[in-house]
Amino acid sequence: MNGANQPIGVFDSGIGGLTVVKALMTNLPRESIVYFGDTARVPYGTKSKSTIVKFSLENVEFLLRFGVKCIVVACNTSSSWALPTLRKFFKVPIIGVIRPGATAAVRLTRNKRIGVVGTRATVNSRAYDAAIMRLDPSVKVFSQCCPLFVPLVEEGWTEGDICREVVATYLKPLQKQRIDTLILGCTHYPLLARTIRRVVGPSVSLVDSGEQTAGDVRGVLAGNELLTNGKKNPKHRFFVTDEPAHFHKVGDRFLGKLAGSVERAHPYL
Ligand code: DGL
């Protein structure tokens, strides 16, 4: 197993995983991070299981070149479809976003009616449903894919009339089901939280799976005696498979300011 002072590896289909990076930086401020965003092949949310699994395997292989001590699968779509295969192929601890999100939602719900929003692939996988059922079989899960949310966020349209209309239209069926908890099951959706909050009102608890995952990462590292004892400032590196300039521009919106270099990676060429 790689040592405690090695970085944490994080991968996503593109930029969205920076919401998870932000949560990791807040919860584990001394840890260094190597981030891999597959911006040349994004989106994953519209692709088939076999493609998502293949891409995810390649992404882990790339991160292992940096001697990472664990891998965080920031992408909900990859976590939904690829986690069992990744854990079968690699020895390094691999943490996904589904179980942490499901656990928080089960803890929060009072009427046992939980909504899940995500990409089409995540919703079709029923990974959140399965994780929630394992925790509490009496909970009812209602899922809704929201394919327009990712482009809205990437264009910076996270507020305003158009955004609100799209959010309200997608969430209507879930509201009809009287959910009291909503899992934001996609890397991009936390950026829509304000608009979602306005649409669903104050009585629905919103769960940011990425934020919850940071707590799980801490637990896994502590359990394996892998929390860093480094005294120096952490060093972060960001790799993308397409033009770094776009990642920089949109990435600042996700992270505030990208604290680290952005490099072009060619892992599968
Ligand atoms: N990162 C993906 C997720 O969390 C959203 C973008 C995509 O479809 O690739 O599901």
| Structure tokens belonging to residue 67 | 């001697």
The reply to whether ligand 1 has any atom less than 6 angstroms from the CB of 125 is no
Give the three-state DSSP class for 87: helix
The rounded distance, in Å, linking the Cα atoms of 243 and 9 is: 21
Write out the DSSP string of 208-231.
EHHHHHHHHHHHHHHHTT-S----
The whole-angstrom separation of Cα 256 and Cα 258 is 7
Which of 35, 73, 75, 124 has most ligand 1 atoms within 8 Å of its beta carbon, as the pocket-test mutant? 75
pLDDT (0 to 100) of residue 246: 86
Q: Looking at the chain, which residues constitute the CATH 3.40.50.1860 domain(s)?
A: 8-96+211-264, 98-209
Predicted pLDDT of residue 250: 87
Closest-CA residue, ligand 1 atom 6, reads: 43
Q: Is the CB of 186 under 6 A from ligand 1?
A: yes
Residues 158-169: tens digit of each pLDDT = 999 999 999 999
Q: Is the pLDDT of residue 2 over 70?
A: no
Say what the pLDDT of residue 269 is: 61
Which of the listed CATH numbers 3.40.50.1980, 2.60.40.420, 3.40.50.1860, 1.10.3720.10 matches domain 8-96+211-264?
3.40.50.1860
CA of 44 to the centre of ligand 1 (A): 6
76 close to ligand 1 (CB < 6 Angstrom): yes
Q: Which residues of 163-197 are buried (b: 16+ CB within 10 A; e: fewer)?
A: beebbeebbeebbeeebbbbbbbbbbbbbbeebbe
Alpha carbons 237 and 247: distance in angstroms, whole number: 13
Residue 42 Cβ inside 6 Å of ligand 1? The answer reads yes
Amino acid at 167: V
Provide the token pair at 232: 């120096």
Tracing tokens 């779509």 back to the chain, one arrives at 77
Cβ(195) – ligand 1 distance below 6 Å: no
Return the best residue to mutate from 10, 11, 13 for the ligand 1 pocket (most ligand atoms within 8 A of CB).
13
More confident call, 1 vs 244? 244
With a cut of 80, say whether residue 26 has pLDDT above it.
Answer: yes
Which atom of ligand 1 sits closest to the CA of residue 17? 1
Catalytic residue among 70, 75, 146, 163: 75
- 186 assigned to active site: yes
C-alpha span between 107 and 75 (Å, rounded) = 23
pLDDT of residue 258: 73
* Assigned CATH class of 98-209: alpha beta
Q: Is the pLDDT of residue 259 over 80?
A: no
Report pLDDT for 1. 59
How much is the pTM?
Answer: 0.96
pLDDT in tens, 72-102: 999 999 999 999 999 999 999 999 999 999 9
